Amino acid sequence: MPRTAAATHCPYCALQCAMTLTPVAPVAGVASDASAAPVTVAGRDFPTNRGGLCRKGWTSAELLRSPGRLTAPLVRGDDGELHEASWDDALDLVATRLRGIRSSHGADAVGVFGGGGLTNEKAYLLGKFARLALGTSRIDYNGRYCMSSAAAAGNRAFGVDRGLPFPLEDLDDADTILLLGTNVGETMPPFIGHLAGAQAAGGLVVVDPRRTATAKLTDEGRGLHIQPVPGTDLPLLLGLIHLVIAERLIDVDYVEQRTVGFDAVRRSVAQWWPERVQSVTGVAALTLRRLARRLAAGGGTYILTGRGVEQHVDGTDTATAAINLALLLGLPGRAGSGYGTLTGQGNGQGGREHGQKCDQLPGYRKITDPAARAHVAGVWGVDPDVIPGPGVPAVELLHSLGRPDGVRALMVHGSNLVVSSPNVAAVREGLARLDLLVVCDFFLSETGALADVVLPITQWAEEEGTMTSLEGRVIRRRRALTPPDGVRDELWVLAELARRLDCTATFDTDPEQVFDELRRASEGGIADYSGIDYAMLDRGEAAYWPYPRGGSGTPRLFADRFAHDDGLARLVAVSVRGSARPRPGSGELELITGRLLEHYQSGAQTRRVPELLEARPEALATMHPATALRLGIADGALVELANRNGTVRCRARLSTDVRPDAVFLPFHYGDVQAANLLIGDAVDPISSMPEFKTGVVRVTPLDPIALDPHPELDVLSEVTA
């Protein structure tokens, strides 16, 4: 084990807080605790977190020697149970089964599902492995659930998708910051330090149907919390655009010189006068006018969106409306102002740039572009015709599992599908129909427990690589300790499987060599990394893409032009589709799903950290006390949330932070508490983003006698015993 400190970054969200990991030296004469954290964690000064960490970051080392850590491959035996196996036996089995399935059903019968937490090197090599070693087009990743609507909106408006087209530090001097559908106070707490300037100016505006930790930052005159009806973000934004135009608040010179499409947008918002918006959203017309004028007042204004307004069937249009508002105010590319979207997963930005999306090749190139295919094929040393065409997005891929003409074998990397996917019950059924399910993970997640083969892989502090933060900044992940015996890096796993599948392409196992290949593959693309290397990152140089070979990085996009050929941004007219989502009927509530401070994503990691689990041991359905009184539900009572998609059973929590017409459920839990049991297959028609954030449910109290047929709820009783 290395005995020197490693300067690295947190394994969780896209803020990628800097930290220092120092290996714990054994104490002479004192027996060591095998489950104790092998490294100490200290916050490290860095522009995004400035030495701070959240509870997840401070406890991140607890998982490195967790008792539940997988240290040997698992193979399902004839008895239906998972048993330890050697690496050779496990990989030979996987390769043999994959070869047989491809032979019988074709290359597209094999699917690959990646993750936004993989390093750039892993994401890149996974895409290469799918297309060359497997020959399949059926690859997508869980970033489809996270950033796809924001990406689609950014690409069509700006010609490029980079979450924040400016360094996070630029927010420090803002007078006004509009946060739409993001709860940074809980999802990335160190972020809130960058909101202090806007708070001091009374200009922090938070749009969220819940009174979240972020919304509470506006208290005491520090800003404004706007609490619309869930799912009405698009009408709200159209109303603000209407006001900006009607009150002549637009930046006329900017719009004329740097955009196209104004007339169509002007016509499209004519019907969204303030009083009509008030009737739809519940937000007072006076408040809308006050906000529009504040945004246009100058002094440094930023508009930032998050998953709360994007994870909807109209998510791309909603993000587009936010961009339209920003463009009309002249914000993008102007010093001291801007528009951005907050990437969620640790490598959500880099993970969607280098080839694990169904329609992309490295460098954010379109897989249908002949020039892009020729360039990447040249780097890979293959004929362009060998590279498959575009595949299908995540929800469609999962819907095809086990079907006659669908995916018969699935490899899962960095994702816990049976918790994080929409329509969880259908996903579970699809996985059960597969001929082969292979999961690479460091714990036996809910998805891993269903697998035919589980391959134990390295964790963040045991590997080298790069990540790309929410700012588009490429940073270094550094190894602090040696992984346990029996654990392997995914680069090695992919290389070994490619060799067993007789793939002649090169699959390097050294992260720096893989990154060098990624650089060449991305060269000339939208996300050009060709001018970045490990040496410059190790010297601490800031590297924002695009960073062409021989050039310099781009911390701030759009200062002179946008990424479309003519250099102009597109104002795109969008409208509210009347049947976009069902509305609650009598006795029903709006379902809002979201995150908690203590947990991350599917909870597969954080629910294994004792301190975090103790703080949030179970899912709680949070509802307004008045609503609970009407439904006959007491605080802490067991309740059932149900709709046509499924049923969730958990305890109730009463709070005035939730609107009386809504119920909030966190999505970090599995089994009968999996929030996505209530989420259907509806997706945004442009981005294929699932409708995660809102739904309609009926909430009823559970008679304790009725719990007898549900032994899985025993754990809930034990928690409160």
> Residue 12: which pLDDT band, with cuts at 50, 70 and 90?
very high
Tell me phi and psi for residue 362, to 5 degrees.
Answer: -55, 145
Output the pLDDT for position 3. Answer: 58
Q: Residue 60, SS3? A: helix
Of 137-141, 373-377, 709-713, minimum mean pLDDT range: 709-713
Gyration radius of the chain over CA positions: 25
pLDDT higher than threshold 70 for residue 579: no
**Average pLDDT in the 252-264 region?**
98
Output the pLDDT for position 487. Answer: 97
Cβ distance 156 to 572 under 8 Å? yes
Segment (H or E) for 224 = strand 223-226
**Average pLDDT in the 256-277 region?**
97
Cα angle 114, 179, 265; round to 5: 90
Q: How far apart are CA 570 and CA 320, in angstroms?
A: 10
Q: How far apart are CA 349 and CA 161, in angstroms?
A: 9
Q: Residue 96, SS3? A: helix
Say which residues have a Cβ less than 8 Å from residue 398's Cβ, sequence separation at least 6: 113, 417, 421, 426, 427, 430
Tell me phi and psi for residue 144, to 5 degrees.
Answer: -60, -30
Cα pseudo-dihedral 237, 239, 244, 247, rounded to 10: -170
Higher-pLDDT residue of 203 and 344 is: 203
Output the pLDDT for position 452. Answer: 98
What percentage of the chain carries pLDDT values higher than 70?
Answer: 95
Two tokens, residue 383: 């004929």
pLDDT higher than threshold 70 for residue 66: yes
Cα angle 492, 606, 191; round to 5: 100
Output the pLDDT for position 35. Answer: 62
Residues 513-552 have pLDDT tens digits of 999 999 999 999 999 999 999 999 999 999 999 999 999 9
Two tokens, residue 711: 């032994």
Distances (CA, A) of 441 to 99, 324, 480, 531, 584: 23, 41, 19, 32, 39
Residue-level length of the chain = 721
Output the pLDDT for position 29. Answer: 59
> Residue 714: which pLDDT band, with cuts at 50, 70 and 90?
very low
Residues 496-505 have pLDDT tens digits of 999 999 999 9
Output the pLDDT for position 717. Answer: 37
Beta-bridged to residue 225, according to DSSP, are: 206
Q: How far apart are CA 307 and CA 650, in angstroms?
A: 24
All structural domains of the chain, each given as residue ranges with its CATH number in brackets, are: 6-65 (2.20.25.90), 74-146+358-538 (3.40.50.740), 148-341 (3.40.228.10), 589-720 (2.40.40.20)
Strands 74-76 and 82-84: what pairing? antiparallel
Mean pLDDT taken over the chain: 93
pLDDT higher than threshold 70 for residue 337: yes
Residues 441-452 have pLDDT tens digits of 999 999 999 999
pLDDT higher than threshold 50 for residue 87: yes
pTM above 0.85, yes or no: yes
Output the pLDDT for position 298. Answer: 79
Cis, peptide link before residue 2, omega less than 30° from 0: no
> Residue 711: which pLDDT band, with cuts at 50, 70 and 90?
very low
* Amino acid sitting at position 511: P
pLDDT higher than threshold 60 for residue 211: yes
Q: How far apart are CA 75 and CA 82, in angstroms?
A: 5
Higher-pLDDT residue of 67 and 190 is: 190
State the alpha helices, DSSP H only, in 482-623. 490-500, 511-522, 534-538, 610-615
Residues 627-648 have pLDDT tens digits of 999 999 999 999 999 999 999 9
Output the pLDDT for position 188. Answer: 95
Two tokens, residue 250: 């637009």
